[in-house]
Amino acid sequence: MLRILATPWREFARLYSSVAFVRLAVLGIGLGVVSGCAAMLFFLGIEYAKHLILVAWAGLSLPAPAGEGLFHDAAAGGAYRPWVIPLATCATGLVTGWLVQRFLPDSLAGMTDGTDAMIRAFHRGKGVIRKRAPFIKGLTSILTIASGGSAGREGPISQIGAGLGSFVADRLHLSTKERRLLMLAGAAGGLGAVFRAPLGGALTAIEVVYREDFEAEAMLPAILSSVVAYTLFAYVFGTEPMFAIPRFSFSDMRELPFYLTLALTCAFTGWAYVRTFRFMKYGVFLRLAERVGIMWTTALGGLLVGLFGIIYTPMLSDGYGWVEQAILGHLTVTTMVTIMVAKTLATAMTLGSGMSGGMFAPALFVGGMTGGVVGYAAHDLFPHIVREPGGYVLVGMAAFFAGVAHAPVGPLIMVCELTQGYGLLAPLMLASAVCILLNRKVSLYENQVENKFESPAHASDATVNLLEGLTVRECFHRGRVPTLEEGTTLKALTDVIAGTSVFTFPVRDASGALSGILAVQDVRALLYEESLFDLVVVRDLMRPLLTLAESDDLYAALLRFVDTDLSHIIVVDDDDREKVLGLLYRADLFKAYSDALRIARED
């Protein structure tokens, strides 16, 4: 009976014997707590500062999504003061520029936002994020969004969460691989919390690092982190979704051509969005920064955005309230087109100049307005077919971001979580797939790579995968290997060495069992000491037994060669480890790897 009961426990222990697996799960939960608290503080900071600057001081009345109206019921602090907006954005630009120039001078060129900084750290920075970066970017992002800069909170919170993951890994002295995974887990926690979309946030974090792949090993800690962070965030701010909107559904197949039109339109606006941002950043502001410095460049960007905000207030800040208005049908098609163009320009000026914030929210904003234009225009023309044009706003958000960020699953799931249903799943999948297909050469994030094979983070994995697919049986030299006995004298040994080209010999004890190996390099210094010929025996010179079995993979063989200075390793039979079959040469291992690499590249 005890034996029967012990078997399941033994299997359970064997299954969970991987310490790294369990450690990542536990650390994912811990990161969820930390990143969830960071997300709450970050969110509170933005909402309070936004109310203070834009509502109380500037006297604006901006719509807010139903799930985030923390301070928007409070009375405005006086008369309309439009001059506060450019003053606040310009001051924010000055502060941001000074901090970046002083502490993070390399954070402008080659990065889009905080999410892109996380991607670069994952691929090229060994998962290391400087401790000061999340704090500086978090503070300046709060000021940017609160003062009216066109940016989102998702990029900064991704960088903050990733920085926390990197910090925890360093403190625990974890490996580079684990640091990278915890960095993604921290980012997932931040995204899942601020969007109140735990699954969508986790999937977005692990797939946004590649264009055509995702980091599967980070899925478990990312999901755990995102769920825990979301739970904490929802406990404080409630479980209601960001938007108070009806549940949409797709039931009429005749709508598919309109959703296809939406996908084509999102692909074009996505291309224009990215091109506008790149032009403003590299064609205007980086050239200006080379002449007048970072601080004055960000100040100019802030001033321009603020003046633009006086002219057209819907482009200020993250704009989620306007997205909800579009979903509910409170905006005209003309208004949505105007907002879409204005938001694209404002985002390019804000983030292109070097101010802090994320591209995620503006991308969702522009995508949502694009979907709204198509949906409500189609509803006006074909009301009997397009009955729920508000759903096109949601589909446009997911399809637009999927196309420019090459993240097909995360945004799709995120929209389903925002709507609390899967009624739009089919059009979401169609539109996202078409946008990704058409925008293959368009990328919002500059540090994305195609897949794991092109990532420096997985350079060693490619080697391991190739060698693990090959066995010793395929490349060792099969044949008789001269065998020594422990009692063989040095004089007899010199004759054996002189008569063969082998540099490694198996050694057997008196009973005939393999007991060790002898390497020629260990004997070379004694070969001409005739006074020792009859005194020294093989037992005195041999090393501990080291062999490879036929079925061992070449990666295991490589590790054996790395740990020793041997040029040959003895190969034994799988079933009878006392039976010597031949030798594996170091050169043959490298040739097998070279051949496999060439075949892989040809495929």
pLDDT digits (tens, 9 = 90+) for 412-431: 888 778 766 678 888 989 99
Q: Place 128 in a pLDDT band, splitting at 50, 70 and 90.
A: confident
SS3 call for 240: coil
Dihedrals phi, psi of 484, to nearest 5 degrees? -105, 155
- How many whole angstroms separate alpha carbon 148 and alpha carbon 308? 10
For residue range 267-307, list pLDDT tens digits in order. 999 999 999 999 999 999 989 988 998 899 999 999 999 99
The residue that leads in pLDDT, 6 or 558, is 558
Q: Place 143 in a pLDDT band, splitting at 50, 70 and 90.
A: very high
Q: Place 11 in a pLDDT band, splitting at 50, 70 and 90.
A: low
Contact residues for 538 (Cβ-Cβ < 8 A; gap 6+): 484, 485, 486, 487, 488, 493, 507, 518
The residue that leads in pLDDT, 349 or 118, is 349
Per-position DSSP letters for 85-147, written without gaps between them: HHHHHHHHHHHHHHHHHHH-TTSSTT--SHHHHHHHHHHHSTT---THHHHHHHHHHHHHHHH
**At how many degrees (to 10) do helices 176-195 and 114-124 cross?**
160
* E strand or H helix that includes residue 296: helix 294-311
Least confident residue range of 104-108, 233-237, 583-587: 104-108
pLDDT surpassing 70 at residue 8: no
- How many whole angstroms separate alpha carbon 602 and alpha carbon 162? 37
- How many whole angstroms separate alpha carbon 424 and alpha carbon 421? 8
C-beta of residue 54 within 8 angstroms of C-beta of residue 207 = no
- How many whole angstroms separate alpha carbon 460 and alpha carbon 471? 19
With 0-12 CB in 10 A as exposed, 13-18 as middle and 19+ as buried, what is 218?
A: buried
SS3 call for 206: helix
* Token pair recorded at residue 474: 């395929």
* Token pair recorded at residue 72: 């928007």
* Token pair recorded at residue 31: 């990161």
Q: Place 461 in a pLDDT band, splitting at 50, 70 and 90.
A: low
C-beta of residue 97 within 8 angstroms of C-beta of residue 107 = no
- How many whole angstroms separate alpha carbon 359 and alpha carbon 364? 9
Q: Answer positive or negative: Cα dihedral of 179, 185, 190, 191.
A: positive
Place of tokens 């958000």: 397
| pLDDT reported for residue 9 | 54
* Token pair recorded at residue 470: 């090959």
Name the residue among 170, 189, 99, 185 with its Cα closest to residue 130: 170
- How many whole angstroms separate alpha carbon 242 and alpha carbon 244? 7
- How many whole angstroms separate alpha carbon 43 and alpha carbon 232? 13
- How many whole angstroms separate alpha carbon 580 and alpha carbon 573? 7
* Token pair recorded at residue 551: 């079925």
- How many whole angstroms separate alpha carbon 399 and alpha carbon 521? 65
Mean pLDDT of 228-252: 86
Residue 309 DSSP code: H
Beta pairing, strands 484-485 & 504-508: parallel
Mean pLDDT of 80-101: 91
- How many whole angstroms separate alpha carbon 578 and alpha carbon 571? 10
* Token pair recorded at residue 260: 């296809």
Residue 245 DSSP code: -
* Token pair recorded at residue 477: 């030299």
For residue range 24-51, list pLDDT tens digits in order. 888 899 999 999 999 999 999 998 999 8
